[in-house]
Amino acid sequence: MNLDSNSRSANQKSQARMDRRTFVHASSAAMLSAPVVFSAATGDGAGPFASLKNLRSSESPEVSLKGRIYKTLKIGMIDVPGSLTEKFRAAKQAGFAGVEMNSPGMNVEETRKAIAESGLPVDGTVCSTHWQKTHTSPDAEVRAVALKDLQTAIRDTHAVGGNTALLVVGHGKDGPENEIWPRAIENISKALPLCAELGVYIAIENVWNHFLYDHDGDHTQTAEKFVRFVDELNSPWVGMQFDIGNHWKYGSMGDWIRALGKRVVKLDLKGYSRAKNDWVKEIGTGDIDWADVRKALQEINYCGWAAAEVGGGDLDRLKQISSNMDRVFGL
């Protein structure tokens, strides 16, 4: 993408801010809401987390990601009565280190109050309208709304101290791939100067949206199109919020993680069974190869947030989800 001189200057300044945050994040576990840090896909130990090289044990069948993963969850999963502060406290009591909010629609002041009173940070947002207002729509007015809503999510994320705005980029129903791909690239690119200014990632989620994979295909598919799409946006502020469960039906999650490499800025996780061809209730049930997922995440030197995205509930249910995450990541 070609930016004017002002945009390039803002991008360079924000990159410098990211580098400073990277140092703080690596130095202090307390800085949980700092931007995710990642290194080269080769996993050769280069980059800011080279000091964690001694944690790598990819030859072991029992690889642990302890010290690398911060657990978070979607706000809609917290079915606890009371104020937003009480919901945050319940998530923290269940073992989560953060929570993801929805935007547009988030009350920024109420969220800041809940953060201050609970001590639980907001690590990011989910764009609340991305299924209805797509960046791939043939209607320019719809794309304009999609862009405005994405920019709102970016601003709200920054306002509450988060660092990612999760985005579903569009839908295959909006037209043939050779039309919707450039539409999405053009529209999302318009939000990149704001990302650079505020230091917030657009985190693209892989979902069942008939785009960037073959929805009717088998389990031998690769992440090639996701890699190409992210790279075409050509910004350090665009990556993947890679959902480990969503595309197990279509390919090897470990191999997809390896292919995406440094593009993975956050994780989502749920359970899926190829044998049953259906979702499963608990993270860790089903037949996802979690051992290979752990190995792949260590190979790309991933260190950052992982968000549960399953059916939530009361405090006991949240504790169960947190425990399931501990098990699959070896925490």
CATH code, domain carrying 214: 3.20.20.150
Residue 64, pLDDT score = 87
Residue 53: pLDDT above 50?
A: no
Could you tell me the CA-to-CA distances from 286 to 103, 160, 275 in Å, in that order? 31, 36, 8
> Do the domain assignments include residue 262?
yes
Residue 49 lies in a domain: no
299-323 b/e with 16+ CB inside 10 Å = b? bbbbbbbbbbbbebeeeebbbbbbe
What's the whole-number mean pLDDT along residues 10-25? 41
Q: Quick check: is 52 in a domain?
A: no
Res 239: pLDDT = 98
5 inside domain: no
Provide the pLDDT for residue 139.
97
Domain-located, residue 39? no
Q: Which domain holds residue 109?
A: 65-329
Q: Is the pLDDT of residue 298 over 70?
A: yes
Strand (E) or helix (H) holding 257: helix 253-260
Condensed to tens digits (0 to 9), the pLDDT of residues 64-80 reads 899 999 999 999 999 99
Residue 35 within a domain: no
The stretch 268-297 carries a mean pLDDT of 94
**Is 309 a member of any domain?**
yes
Per the structure, the count of domains in the chain is 1
Q: Does residue 12 fall inside a structural domain?
A: no
> What is the pTM (predicted TM-score) of this model?
0.81
